[in-house]
Amino acid sequence: MPLRVRLTFWYGTVLALVLIVFSMVLYAITARNLRDTVDESLEDTATTAVRLLETNGFLPLIDEEILLSQFPELTRIDKFFQIFSPSGTITIRSPNIKQHKVPLSRTALDAAFAGQSIYESAQYPKEPPLRLISMPIMYRDNLLYIVQVGTSMESVGETLHRFLVLVLVAIPIALTVSLAGGWFLAGRALRPVDRITLAAQRIAAGDLSQRLSMPGAYDEIGRLAATFNNMIGRLDASFRQIRQFTSDASHELRTPLTVMKGETDLVLRKSRPLEDYKAVLESNLEEIDRMTRIVDELLFLSRADMGEVKVESMPVVLQSLVEDVHRQAKLLGQERNVEVVLGTITPVIVQGDDLRLRELLLNLVENAMKYSNPGGKVEISLLRDGQEARLSITDHGIGIAAADHKKIFQRFFRTDVARAHTKKGTGLGLAICAWIADLHKGRVEVKSDLGQGSTFTVVLPLVTLPA
Amino acid sequence: MRVLVLEDETKVGCFIKRALEEESYAVDLCEDGAKGLEMALATNYDLLVVDVMLPGMSGLDVLKNLRRERIQTPVLILSAQSQIDQRVKGLDAGADDYLTKPFAIDELLARVRALLRRGATESPGVLQVDDLMFNPATREVTRGGQRIDLTLKEYALLEYLMRHTGRVLTRPMISEHVWNQDFDTFTNVIDVYVNYLRNKIDRGRTKKLIHTIRGSGYMLKAD
């Protein structure tokens, strides 16, 4: 069921309940008040009658004519009266009660003997109900007479009936008007929600560039729209990133595939000397290695993104790590005719993962060698600068244009110069370096000019050893 | 038929060049976009095979520049990107065809043949001059129903002559379309190859098809 219908339904139900309960209470109170008023006037009349009888002496048998002439208020048209003897027989009764015999009830008689007044209601067929008061007249604790004053409840009944009719007509009208109002208000309140839904549908259909128009007020809906826009913005950005990443990854993997397919396809087109097949297989092996490296590094990065890479946090003595890597790099350098030397080395301890930091350093040193010219020199130095360790790797190779300094840390980005310099390289190494540095709350800085070589500096926070 | 291949991935460029050369095309290879554009502007190539991602200048920019210079050489774009919008972008930039990496050599060669056919004023698949038949797809050459075996260079030379029958082809024109940039202009290699062809096609037949136009070059025609 739509929210609008439900809101209106609940609103209507609650309102109807309130109106009905309210009307019932009002009806009960009114009925009670009306009866009380009747009772009071009955009591007044009865009290007056009793007092008059007392002041004028008690006659054993009261003549009706005399009584009426003496007490004209007893003949008031809306009330009748009767005077009973203690035995319950009527001695006098007013002329306006001709039609019926209204006998004195047993309870009234008992109450009279106890010296108490009592109210009663009586109902005769096809007549409005009657309200009666029976009041004893006592003389020295003896019951002399019982005065009963009665009146018709017809006007009270009519008043209540009119009230009931009014309520029965007014409640449905009020309810209908309120429901219409509620329906309108709910619709009005929900209209922005509909707009958001429509926009969300458009966006869900793939157009992430869409945004919700923000209602001016910063109300619940405005906040919802803002939150929604914010979410779409982040979704858009991360989808873009993923699309870029997937397209880059597929491009990087397609290149070795193209080489393998093309070379194999070509060599198989006709029979050739054995060396040709060997050359293709060797080339394919290179490409397989390249793909393996890409896939490994991609896997590592995606596990890093998911937070699945386990990282130790131990004190790491950087200078001995540098010396280890230097020994390793010196051997590699001999193969490539690049000299790897140590510069200033200051003893420094940082907190982190020894293996990852080793990987970071080795990556940067290998890069430096890869992009050096034959006969070039790579220098590693380790310095202490305030609360930071600065581990620098300097080469005099091809360098990086200033415009690319930020981009080189992006996945798969390789400068044209780097691509032209060597086909080896996945474009992922520096992304991994940046990730490792970030993990140690550090960063990688670049200083480089095209053709002038580069200096990569890993900046790591120092461990403050407890004194 | 002379082809320029612009491809920065050395291995890919090499096997494309080799595949085309085995089909008797004269192939130049270039790894840089800007340099490639210069070459395409300087030489009258019959076909360009261009990779999209190139250092110096992107393949699409090379293509746009060529078309701006009103050079209508057929261009086959190679790309690792297979998305439709990428293909559309390439074709809209003025490319005649689009091939996604990785690709089969057969498909590359078939597309190259199709583009060259289109370039030569909607010629049919099989070329014919008198009773000399030339089928680029099967690489079969016959005269009067008799098979003629040709070397790669002879084949390339004959294809160029057959695609331009009835027109005088000068030695520079022939060298430009049949040999690649390594060709040394100051030799008589062209005359030597024309003679080889003559031996295989016209020798012992009354009707000669290859004619020498004195002072300018050669012509292939039926009468």
- Residue written as token pair 């019932």: A24
Residues B139, B198, single domain; the answer is yes
Task: For residue B101, give the chain A residue with the closest CA.
Answer: A258
Q: Which residues of A177-202 are buried (b: 16+ CB within 10 A; e: fewer)?
A: ebbeebbeebeeebebeeebeebeee
Mean pLDDT of A172-180: 91
Residues A257, A325, single domain; the answer is no
**pLDDT over threshold 90, residue A137:** no
* Per-residue pLDDT band at A76 (split at 50, 70, 90): low
**pLDDT over threshold 70, residue B196:** yes
Contacts of A250 in chain B (CB under 8 A): 80
**Is any Cβ of chain A less than 8 angstroms from the Cβ of B8?**
yes
**Is any Cβ of chain A less than 8 angstroms from the Cβ of B42?**
no
Mean pLDDT of B25-52: 91
Mean pLDDT of B174-191: 83
Mean pLDDT of A155-165: 90
**Is any Cβ of chain A less than 8 angstroms from the Cβ of B53?**
yes
Mean pLDDT of B105-121: 84
Residue A101 belongs to some domain of the structure: yes
Tell me what ipTM this predicted complex has.
0.72
Task: For residue B11, give the chain A residue with the closest CA.
Answer: A259
Lowest model confidence (mean pLDDT) among A224-228, A439-443, B28-32, B45-49: A224-228
Q: What are the tokens at A288? A: 């397989």
**Number of domain units in chain B:** 2
* Per-residue pLDDT band at B16 (split at 50, 70, 90): very high
> What residues pair up with A455 in beta bridges, in sequence order?
A394, A447
Residues B12, B98, single domain; the answer is yes
Task: For residue B86, give the chain A residue with the closest CA.
Answer: A247
Could you read off the pLDDT of A350-394 as tens digits, one per residue?
A: 988 998 999 999 999 999 998 998 889 999 999 998 889 999 999
Kindly determine whether residue B80 and residue A262, on different chains, have CB atoms separated by under 8 Å. no
Residues A370, A268, single domain; the answer is no
Kindly determine whether residue B105 and residue A266, on different chains, have CB atoms separated by under 8 Å. yes
Which of the residues A243, A264, A265, A286 would you substitute to probe the B interface, choosing the one with the greatest number of B C-beta atoms within 10 Å? A265
Whole-number percent of chain A with pLDDT over 90: 28
**Helix boundaries (H) for A268-353:** 274-305, 318-336
**Is any Cβ of chain A less than 8 angstroms from the Cβ of B110?**
no
Residue-range definition of the domain harbouring residue A251 = 237-305
**pLDDT over threshold 80, residue B26:** yes
The pLDDT score that the predictor gives to residue A116 is 86
Residues B78, B164, single domain; the answer is no
The pLDDT score that the predictor gives to residue A278 is 94
* Per-residue pLDDT band at A32 (split at 50, 70, 90): very high
| Per-chain mean pLDDT for chain B | 87
Residue-range definition of the domain harbouring residue B101 = 2-119
**Number of domain units in chain A:** 3
Task: Please check whether residue A457 is in contact with residue A444, taking contact to mean a CB–CB distance below 8 angstroms.
Answer: yes
More confidently predicted of B119 and A138 = A138
Contacts of B62 (CB under 8 A, 6+ apart): B6, B33, B36, B37, B40, B50, B54
**pLDDT over threshold 90, residue B29:** yes
Residues A439, A322, single domain; the answer is yes
The pLDDT score that the predictor gives to residue B144 is 86
Residues A334, A282, single domain; the answer is no
Task: Please check whether residue A120 is in contact with residue A107, taking contact to mean a CB–CB distance below 8 angstroms.
Answer: yes
Q: Which of A94, A128, A158 is the last residue before a domain boundary?
A: A158
Lowest model confidence (mean pLDDT) among A53-67, A136-150, A158-172, A186-200: A53-67
Whole-number percent of chain B with pLDDT over 70: 97
Task: Kindly report the CATH number assigned to the domain that includes residue A375.
Answer: 3.30.565.10
Residues B18, B102, single domain; the answer is yes
Lowest model confidence (mean pLDDT) among A205-209, A281-285, B72-76, B128-132: A205-209
Q: How far is A416 from chain B (nearest CA, A)?
A: 5
Kindly determine whether residue B102 and residue A269, on different chains, have CB atoms separated by under 8 Å. no
> What residues pair up with A138 in beta bridges, in sequence order?
A143
More confidently predicted of B116 and A54 = B116
Q: Which of B119, B146, B168 is the last residue before a domain boundary?
A: B119
Residues B6, B92, single domain; the answer is yes
Which of the residues B5, B8, B11, B27 would you substitute to probe the A interface, choosing the one with the greatest number of A C-beta atoms within 10 Å? B11
Which of the residues A255, A264, A267, A282 would you substitute to probe the B interface, choosing the one with the greatest number of B C-beta atoms within 10 Å? A255
Residues A353, A326, single domain; the answer is yes
